[in-house]
Amino acid sequence: MAPELADSTTAHSVRTDVGEPCIRGEPEVTDLPARVGPAEFSALGSMIAVRCPSDLDPWMRKAGGLWEPGSRRWLIERRRIGPLIRNLRRNTDPLFRRAGIDLDEG
């Protein structure tokens, strides 16, 4: 009888950009905010859907986003959403505070 070979789908623990450690191939975004500044986030299968004003298009492209014209939203890979959220928090929140809009009220 041949010895059992290790399953090629063995789970490996890795750290994602956002959230807790996860199983490779199935990244979880546990800390996905509903909104950062004018951008709204939602999970869509293996991608994150982002609806935002066209002013933020360069940041979406930099994060490797794909524009979905039918639903007018950007699709971003889960592994690239962490840096995008950090950039949005760093750059949009001060602008909204300066305009007198409190992003934390809800």
* pTM confidence score: 0.63
Domains: count for the chain: 1
* DSSP states along 17-82: SSSS-EETTB---TT--SEETTEEEEEETTEEEEE--GGGHHHHHHTT-EEETTTTEEEEEHHHHH
| Residue-wise pLDDT tens digits, 20-46 | 444 444 445 568 999 988 899 999 999
Residue 2 lies in a domain: no
Residue 64 lies in a domain: yes
What residues make up the domain containing 41? 13-98
Residue 4 lies in a domain: no
Lowest mean per-residue pLDDT among 18-22, 54-58, 92-96: 18-22
